[in-house]
Amino acid sequence: MNRNTFFFTLIFISIIVLVMLNLALGTISIPLADIWNILLGKNDESQIIWQNIVWKSRFPQTITALVAGIGLSISGLQMQTVFRNPLAGPSELGISSGASLGVATIILLSGSISGRALSRMGLMGEVAITISAIIGAMAVMAIILAISQRVRGNVVLLIMGVMIGYIATAIIGVLKFFSNDEDVRAYVIWGLGSFSKVSGNQVHTFVIVMAVLIPLSFLLIKTLNLMLLGDNYARNLGLNVKRARFTVIACSCVLTAVVTAYCGPIVFLGLAVPHLCRTLFNTSNHIVLVPAVTLTGAALALFCNLVARMPGFEGALPINSVTALIGAPIVISVLFGKRKNEVN
Is the confidence at residue 305, as pLDDT, over 70? Answer: yes
- Report if residue 57 sits inside a domain: yes
Q: Is residue 282 part of a domain?
A: yes
> For residue range 41-89, what is the model confidence (pLDDT) as tens digits?
776 666 788 888 888 888 999 999 999 999 999 999 998 888 877 777 7
pLDDT value of position 343: 55
- For residue 13, the enclosing domain spans 1-76+201-228+264-344
What distance separates the 2 farthest-apart alpha carbons in the chain?
68
Question: Residue 303 gets which letter from DSSP?
Answer: H
* pTM to 2 decimal places: 0.86
Give Cα separations from 61 to 30, 269, 297 (angstroms).
16, 17, 15
pLDDT of residue 70: 95
Phi and psi, residue 186, nearest 5°: -65, -40
- pLDDT surpasses 60 at 278: yes
Q: Report the range out of 142-156, 213-227, 233-247, 303-317 with the highest average pLDDT.
A: 213-227
- 139 to 35, 146, 154, 174: CA distances (angstroms): 43, 11, 20, 20
In a domain, 58, yes or no: yes
206 has pLDDT over 70: yes
Alpha-carbon distances of 1 from 7, 8, 9, rounded to whole Å: 10, 11, 10
Q: Is the pLDDT of residue 25 over 90?
A: no
Give pLDDT, residue 12. 95
The Cα–Cα gap between 224 and 78 comes to 7
Q: What is the DSSP letter of 28?
A: S
Tell me: the pLDDT tens digits for 109-151? 766 655 555 555 555 666 777 788 878 888 887 887 788 777 7
Q: What is the 3-state secondary structure (H, E, C) of 249-262?
A: HHHHHHHHHHHHHH
Residue 135 lies in a domain: no
Average pLDDT along the chain:
82
Q: Is residue 153 part of a domain?
A: no
- Structure confidence at residue 251 (pLDDT): 87
Residue 69: inside a domain, yes or no?
yes
Task: Decide if 12 is inside a domain.
Answer: yes
Q: How much is the pLDDT for 94?
A: 79
pLDDT of amino acid 252: 86
The per-residue pLDDT for 338 is 64
Question: So what's the pLDDT on residue 241?
Answer: 84
pLDDT (0 to 100) of residue 66? 95
Residues 154, 159, 162, CA angle at the centre, nearest 5°?
130
Q: What is the total count of domains within the chain? A: 1
Q: Which long-range contacts (CB under 8 A, 24 or more apart) does 309-313 make?
A: 309/22, 309/25, 309/26, 309/27, 311/25, 311/26, 311/29, 312/25, 312/27, 312/29, 313/27
Residue 112: what pLDDT? 60
pLDDT for the residue 35? 87
Is residue 189 domain-resident? no
Task: Specify the pLDDT at position 141.
Answer: 78
**What is the SS3 assignment for 286?**
helix
